[in-house]
Structure 1
Amino acid sequence: MQFAVVDIETTGLFHQGHGITEVSVVLVEEGKIKPLYHRLFNPGRDVPASIEAITGINTKMVSEALPIEDSIDELADILNEKVFVAHNVNFDYQFLKSVFDKNNKPFRHKRLCTLRYARKIFPEFTTHRLGELCDRLGIVNEAQHRAHGDAMATAQLLLQLLEKDNNASTLKKLLGRGEHHLVLPANLDEQEVLSLPDRPGVYYMYGIGAKPIYIGKAKSLKKRVISHFTSSGSTRRKQLFQRQVHRLEYRETDSEYHALLLEDAEIKKHWPRYNRAQKEKTGAIGVVPYTDRAGVSRLAFVNKPGAEPDVLAWFNSLHSAKSWVYKAFMEFGINPRRAGLPLSEDFEMFDGQDESDAFEAFVQRCFNEKSRSFALIESTAKRYALIKDGRYRGYGKIKGKTESNIEYFENQLEAAPDSPAARAVIRNMLSDDRIKKIQL
């Protein structure tokens, strides 16, 4: 087996917005090390002073060098049919892959991370950074933080790892990923990800602290978590997120609805750093009745209506609120212009009619529904969502014979906060023929 040990130097941590300044490739085969390739490249931008302080590479050194795009074919030949090896392999691999992708060139190689490998072979070591491993194992790095020095040191480390790996059992596991093409953070165990259940649930991603940095829901826990790591991040934020994930936890649910509601409750509990979408949904769109100066009853769409007693319904977006109004106005025969919406062909029959009674009937029905209490039961999952006085109260599991009183459902309830996201799930459940509704 041939190993191409690669190390690169760059102008920054993220392949989006940064360039490659140096590449070195060292061949490891049958216990021997052979330098194959080393070159400086013009990254197409200045080298930051902070990077120069680490690597010694400055803008002047690379100003007359060729861009790496001119060496794509040569690099492709060198890496062909070899295992791509690096210390924290995803960094080097994704930087090079981004260059190949931009030039419409294929870049797909088996990868081996010596950082992961070292953790498996030397679990007793407290740190597995390349510098510390070299000190511990007697490896001399003649040019630390330069591509040629780090590549040679990594190649020597690889030889020691292979020597310690009985029957290459750990190597086979690390290389045996099939076609998953995962780009896992170095701290996340691949087998843990691949063994996730193919069931609905909520997953928690952690950094080095005790608080989750991301919480998500899934129809299939395994497929959803894998989808986070099947390619590198397209944005700086996503790349940073992928690197910060250290461990994973999950909680199976009995249905997708349960997963949706649990996800929202857990996000409201922990407020993870990377759940930006749910954080932005704390201000909902409310539909509110009012009377204009001419005495005509109308509807308005307002932001952050949580404290408004006259709100008819809450929505996560203006689009969903308008769609709901269109549907309701069609049912009651009300001109959509009363909500500031255009008159479509479906409503032309109502234009010019006196709709005062119909409008009042619509508003009254909305207020009646707001104050109701009911349970929505998923028979197959034996789960229910409880709505009391028009507010979502939580989710529970049915035990024994179902009763039609609110105390029965409150006693078995896993309380959860009412929120725009939870209300959206409840609206979907109300329109689902498989869900049984019990008035309380």
Structure 2
Amino acid sequence: MNLINDEEFQATCFVVIDFETTTPAGHRPEPIDVATLALRQQADQLVETGRFTALIRPPEHAPLTRLDTEQTGITPDMLRGQPDAATVLARLDTRLDEPPYLLVAHNAPTEVGILYDYRDACPRLAATDLLDTVRLARAIYPDLTSHRLDLLIHHLGIPWPTDRHRAMPDVEATAEVFRRILQHAATTSRWRTLRQLRADAGVDAKGGKPEQGALF
């Protein structure tokens, strides 16, 4: 059986997600740009069924820095007047109304941490498990010296994204990496079910797990 014939895989909507962030000293990363791209299996391919993108005004303790602007092209003027992260992620959360979903991210623990930090605003997102394309790439391309997104784009012959390090171009590149990995895997029968895919590359959501209460 091929992965695309697995009923669980066919039923799942894969939501590729990426954040660009500021990294304030002594604090956790704060999002300034988010994008998602939804993929569902149709016939023998993953087809885009929706997308979302928004800029985010960071909190006062996490201002945009010159280095952030140099990397992303995002300027303070672009963020002035934008909604905060809780508002944006709450809006995105309302779109997850046709489960089941799996998030897909490159280096997924970063997204896990941000969604957990804003779990009150986006409870469905924060409770949705992920597939990590870094782990998928390690499983299917073990001989590569690195599995960074830049190297995978080059290795797979994907056109270089315009505005690399903005959330939507990075999501589009990650979605194409995801597609190419699954296409390659189909020739090897590496994964026959979504359960096997998750065993190799799954990352548990933190928002869906009960918090440890105080002992005393």
TM-score of the superposed pair, with normalisation by structure 2 = 0.74
Contact 2:16 2:104 in 1 (8 A): yes
2:164 is aligned with 1:153 = no
AA aligned opposite 1:41: I
Q: Which is higher, the Rg of structure 1 or of structure 2? A: 1
Give the superposition deviation at 1:129. 0.4
Name the CA shift for 1:58/1:19 in 2 (closer, same or farther; >3 Å): same
Give the superposition deviation at 1:109. 0.8
Contact 1:10 1:21 in 2 (8 A): yes
Q: Which of these residues, 160, 167, 173, is aligned with residue 196 of structure 2?
A: 173
Give the superposition deviation at 1:15. 10
Residue aligning to 1:48: 65
Rounded Cα–Cα distance in structure 2 between residues aligned with 1:19 and 1:113: 20
Name the CA shift for 1:87/1:159 in 2 (closer, same or farther; >3 Å): same
Q: Which of these residues, 158, 173, 176, is aligned with residue 139 of structure 1?
A: 158
Q: Which of these residues, 86, 93, 105, is aligned with residue 76 of structure 1?
A: 93
Contact 1:10 1:18 in 2 (8 A): yes
AA aligned opposite 1:29: R
Contact 1:114 1:154 in 2 (8 A): yes
Contact 2:23 2:29 in 1 (8 A): yes
* Secondary structure in 1 matching 2:32: strand
2:81 is aligned with 1:64 = yes
AA aligned opposite 1:54: Q
Rounded Cα–Cα distance in structure 1 between residues aligned with 2:82 and 2:69: 17
Residue aligning to 2:31: 20
Give the superposition deviation at 1:104. 8.3
Identical aligned pairs, as a percentage?
26
Name the CA shift for 1:153/1:34 in 2 (closer, same or farther; >3 Å): farther
Name the CA shift for 1:144/1:15 in 2 (closer, same or farther; >3 Å): farther
Residue aligning to 2:113: 94
Unaligned stretches of 5+ in structure 2? 1-11, 211-216
CA RMSD of aligned residues (A): 2.8
Structure scoring higher RCO (CA < 8 A, sep ≥ 6) equals: 2
Rounded Cα–Cα distance in structure 2 between residues aligned with 1:47 and 1:94: 19
Contact 1:3 1:85 in 2 (8 A): yes
Residue aligning to 1:128: 147
Rounded Cα–Cα distance in structure 2 between residues aligned with 1:148 and 1:9: 10
Rounded Cα–Cα distance in structure 1 between residues aligned with 2:143 and 2:24: 29
* Secondary structure in 2 matching 1:44: coil
Rounded Cα–Cα distance in structure 1 between residues aligned with 2:29 and 2:142: 34
Contact 2:90 2:122 in 1 (8 A): no
Give the superposition deviation at 1:14. 8.5
| Deviations 1:273-293, CA, capped at 9 Å, x for gaps | xxxxxxxxxxxxxxxxxxxxx
Give the superposition deviation at 1:161. 1.1
Contact 2:140 2:185 in 1 (8 A): yes
1:171-250 aligned at under 5 Å gives the runs 172-176=195-199, 181=204
| Deviations 1:159-189, CA, capped at 9 Å, x for gaps | 1111122353485334249xx9477xxxxxx
Rounded Cα–Cα distance in structure 2 between residues aligned with 1:15 and 1:153: 31
2:21 is aligned with 1:10 = yes
Give the superposition deviation at 1:64. 1.1
Give the superposition deviation at 1:157. 0.6
Rounded Cα–Cα distance in structure 2 between residues aligned with 1:2 and 1:15: 36
Rounded Cα–Cα distance in structure 2 between residues aligned with 1:56 and 1:62: 11
Give the superposition deviation at 1:135. 0.9
| Deviations 1:352-392, CA, capped at 9 Å, x for gaps | xxxxxxxxxxxxxxxxxxxxxxxxxxxxxxxxxxxxxxxxx
The number of residues matched between the two structures is 182
